[in-house]
Structure 1
Amino acid sequence: MQINLIKGHGSGNDFLLIDEISNSYTFSEKERAELARVLCNRNSELGADGILFVLKSEHADGRMRVFNADGSEASMCGNGLRLVSRYICEMRGQKEAVIETMKTDLKVCKQADIFPDVTTYQVEISPVSFSLEDLPLRLNQPTLKNENIPELSEKLIFTALAVPNPHLIAIVENNQMQSDLQKNLSEKVNGPNEFFPDGVNVSFVKDIDKGNIYVRTFERGVGFTNACGTAMSASTLVTCLNGLNDFETVVNVYNNGGKVQCVVHNNSDSYHIDLIGNATYLYTASVEVELEGRNFTVTTKEELLEQTAYEQLQTEAQAFLAEAMKG
């Protein structure tokens, strides 16, 4: 089977994008999971955090399905959605669109470049739920907001929410960020455990100053990533709820892959978040895949020239972060 794809990234969170609108192929559920395991293998010529399947929608401009590198399906992916938004908008010659995702339809649009020559898209992150049933998180209470779970950590204060991916978020100090605390905690709640039967994304958040935060995420099904779009959005919301940042105001969110911007909207009894960041294409390729043999061959590959501009953004972001995280 020959498949055409685009390799791209949002904040260094990289994906292979496969178009099922313009091409004649389609895949079974088993094939989607197997393609993710085979093509995303970091020891292969491609490698990625996951695959973005772009499909026709009955009622929206396009539909996105996201499969992680381990073959599991994610209900949403903010960084991946920016790439899909760009692909759909450019395909249709539009500056805005509505993308169908697993849980809901989301508004997306092209934005002014977040950094010179860095193609930028804004995507809606919603719905937001604090109900533990939606994660799920097994505790004898309806929500978890700024509370301790002694069995997981005596020191950390957690907030749990679904956006709609499940997230466990802690605002931490430098010494906690630099320790093995996050790694050990994340591996525990993403293995057999009594609290998170389906696993959970775990984010540590460092408040830098008003309008600037640093987020590092252990993503279920992936591990530590350069960035996780829904995690950065959920983390920004948590900082607003704690008074560290303001609603309806741009927050710069720094990550190991660069930076994005988030705006949290407070609609009296509900929230939604705008996630604004790069949608960078790395290369196009064609691959010949033999799923039964779990192997593939890259038949053509064309490198694109967009990464240079993004690396300049990344350098500037890392310099700011290095200075901010001193002490």
Structure 2
Amino acid sequence: MSVRFHKMHGLGNDFVVIDGRAGPIALSEASIRALADRHTGVGCDQLILIEPSSVADVRMRIFNADGGEVEACGNATRCVTRLIGHDARIETLGGILHGRMIGDDATIDMGVPRFDWETIPLAYAMDTRDMPVSWDALERPTVANVGNPHVIFFVPDTYAVPLETLGPRIETDPLFPERINVNVATVTGPHAITLRVWERGAGITRACGTGACATAVAAIRLGLVTGPVTVTLPGGDLEIDWRPGETISMTGAATHVFTGELSEGWLA
């Protein structure tokens, strides 16, 4: 028996998407890691499994390339909305997200961001706007949870930061008991930010929707920019808008690359 999959991406953040609404799909961590391998598998940053939902139109489960399941992914939510082909309510571990199609793009209501140290979560209480911590030249970050946890550093030049070495150190620091996504951002205008992201369990990616949301929200919260904000990632631009006390709106591309089939041996 074979299982159909879709290769999709949002600004280069790429996914293997499997639609399991017709019947359960068994996936082990080992099979997810094998499918995500770019040399011997299909290759992806995350594997996305669509399932039936009792509280929304569909349920979306998100597995990083290391096989671990995570709460939310903005780029994947746009891709799932496009694959479904209509506006939809999408259940995730991070809450219910609302997707709306605009041509080939999708706008996602990402919900209300959280800033309390317990909900990030951090290992102990501290000011989440201006954290008295540092890792080499990266210091005094801010944090936000937008369905998954993000730490954000505002720096003069995001491309001057050795994210490939600092990212894994910060991700696994004991301060972050559930690990963390690491964002390094440069404000380039009153409505513009340049961003790179180290995703927990995936590494440096060409785009991260929740990272763009967390970074834009943090910059608005600190008075560095005003919304709407264009967040430029290596893979392209996302438009983020937010007002304190309201939900986050994220708009960007969702691209279907090809459809394939997995033989039974690929599944757990």
TM-score of the aligned structures, taking structure 2 as reference length:
0.93
Distance in 1 separating the partners of 2:50 and 2:243: 28
Distance in 2 separating the partners of 1:126 and 1:149: 28
Residue in 1 that maps onto 2:99: 108
Matched, 1:42 2:38: yes
Distance in 1 separating the partners of 2:40 and 2:201: 18
- CA 1:53 to 1:40, structure 2 compared with 1: closer, same or farther past 3 Å? same
Matched, 1:147 2:131: yes
Q: 1:188-226: CA deviations, max 9, x gaps?
A: 1233x3312221100001111121111100000000000
Residue in 2 that maps onto 1:316: none
Residue in 1 that maps onto 2:166: 185
Residue in 2 that maps onto 1:324: none
Distance in 2 separating the partners of 1:34 and 1:197: 24
Q: Which of 155, 163, 173 is matched with 2:146 structurally? A: 163
CA-CA distance at 1:153 after TM superposition: 4.1
8 Å contact from structure 1 (residues 233, 275) kept in 2: yes
Distance in 2 separating the partners of 1:11 and 1:32: 27
CA-CA distance at 1:280 after TM superposition: 0.2
8 Å contact from structure 1 (residues 156, 172) kept in 2: no
Q: Structure 1 regions of 5+ residues with no counterpart?
A: 113-118, 295-327
Residue in 1 that maps onto 2:206: 226
> What amino acid is aligned across from residue 221 of structure 2 in structure 1?
L
TM-score of the aligned structures, taking structure 1 as reference length:
0.77
8 Å contact from structure 2 (residues 194, 233) kept in 1: yes
Q: Which of 53, 61, 65 is matched with 1:65 structurally? A: 61
Residue in 1 that maps onto 2:244: 266
Secondary structure of the corresponding residue to residue 82 of structure 2: helix
Q: Which structure would you say has the larger Rg?
A: 1
> What amino acid is aligned across from residue 186 of structure 2 in structure 1?
K
Paired residues for 1:173-322 under 5 Å: 173-174=156-157, 177-180=159-162, 182-191=163-172, 193-246=173-226, 249-267=227-245, 271-291=246-266
8 Å contact from structure 2 (residues 195, 231) kept in 1: yes
Matched, 1:99 2:95: no
Distance in 2 separating the partners of 1:44 and 1:123: 33
CA-CA distance at 1:45 after TM superposition: 4.7
Secondary structure of the corresponding residue to residue 265 of structure 1: coil
8 Å contact from structure 2 (residues 144, 218) kept in 1: no
Computed over aligned residues only, the root mean square deviation of the Cα atoms, in angstroms, reads 1.9
8 Å contact from structure 1 (residues 148, 154) kept in 2: no
Moved over 3 A (4+): none
Distance in 2 separating the partners of 1:132 and 1:43: 39
8 Å contact from structure 2 (residues 14, 45) kept in 1: yes
Identity of aligned residues (%): 29
8 Å contact from structure 2 (residues 117, 125) kept in 1: no
> What amino acid is aligned across from residue 208 of structure 1 in structure 2?
T
Secondary structure of the corresponding residue to residue 266 of structure 1: coil
CA-CA distance at 1:46 after TM superposition: 1.4
Residue in 2 that maps onto 1:27: 25
Distance in 2 separating the partners of 1:140 and 1:103: 22
The 10-residue stretch of structure 1 (55-64 or 223-232) with the greater mean CA deviation from structure 2: 55-64
CA-CA distance at 1:32 after TM superposition: 4.3
Distance in 2 separating the partners of 1:32 and 1:17: 15
Secondary structure of the corresponding residue to residue 76 of structure 1: coil
Secondary structure of the corresponding residue to residue 230 of structure 1: helix
Residue in 1 that maps onto 2:73: 77
> What amino acid is aligned across from residue 274 of structure 1 in structure 2?
S
Q: Which of 42, 52, 59 is matched with 1:56 structurally? A: 52
8 Å contact from structure 1 (residues 109, 121) kept in 2: yes
CA-CA distance at 1:239 after TM superposition: 1.1
- CA 1:185 to 1:111, structure 2 compared with 1: closer, same or farther past 3 Å? same
> What amino acid is aligned across from residue 156 of structure 2 in structure 1?
E
